[in-house]
Every structure is written in C-alpha cells, then in structure tokens.
Amino acid sequence: MTDLDHRQLGRDSLFLMADLRLGQAEGEHKVKVRNLSAGGMMAEGPVKVTRGAPVQVNLRNLGWVDGVVAWIQDNRFGIAFVEDVDPKSARAPVNSSASGGESGTPRFVRPPLGKFEAGRLRKI
C-alpha cells in the first residue's frame, strides 16, 4: 500500500487522553489522541519523538498497543500500529467493574436520571 492509499483509511476524529511509552528509561507521557483508525493514530503533546522510533500507547478499552512513529509536525505526530485495532472500542464507555455496578462513565456524561416519585423518598 502506498502512502496515498493509507490516507484513504477511515478515521474517527475524537479527543481522548492516552499514555505513551517511548522506552523503558524515558517513562510514560500523557498525549491527546486527535484521530484514530485501525492502522494508526495522530497524537499531540510536548513529547520529543523521532521518526521510526518504536512506541507503545495505552488506549482506553484496548490496552497497550505497539507502534512506530510515522511522521512529526510541531507537537503532533503520527503512529502506525504494528497490528490493527478496533477504533470503535476506544470510543466506547470505559468497561464497568466486575461487580456489575454502574459504568465507569462520569455522571455528567451519562443521560439524566429518571423522574423520582416524591412518595418513595425516605425522610431522614
């Protein structure tokens, strides 16, 4: 596939935070995920990366994904994944706990609560 062919792959524009590992000695960095496709992503952050450097990205609901820095422009850079991922999984709400409780989605993001019945309220 040529570089032009790669540009035709579908991408999900989104805004997520992810952890990025450049190497064992360099630790982890927080980056913004600007768009995501099955084969790669665009990240943004104050991280010094070099083209061709191997990286690992911790994406929501997907875990650590291996990749290589494909391009760099200012504080944005592209990462080509070693293996394809399911970008819709990263967009889905965080998996709920094993106890079967509420999802990990913050209250302000979930739909409003249903109407309550005044007679069912307990007085304290």
Residue 3, pLDDT > 70, answer no
SS3 122: coil
Question: Using CA atoms in the order 62, 66, 68, 72, what is the torsion angle rounded to 10 degrees?
Answer: 40
CA angle 17-24-76, nearest 5°?
Answer: 40
51 near 70, Cβ under 8 Å?
A: yes
Question: What's the mean pLDDT in 11-36?
Answer: 84
Candidates 54, 55, 58, 53; CA nearest to 18 is 58
Its pTM surpasses 0.85: no
Q: Which CATH number fits domain 3-91: 2.40.10.220, 1.10.10.60, 3.40.50.300, 2.20.28.120?
A: 2.40.10.220
Residue 72's pLDDT band (cuts 50, 70, 90): very high
Question: What's the mean pLDDT in 71-88?
Answer: 95
Segment 31-66, tens digit of pLDDT: 999 999 999 999 999 999 999 999 999 999 999 999
47 near 22, Cβ under 8 Å?
A: yes
Can you give the pLDDT at residue 27?
Answer: 81
- Find the helix or strand (DSSP H, E) in which 71 lies: strand 63-73
Specify the DSSP class assigned to residue 3: H
92: β partners: none
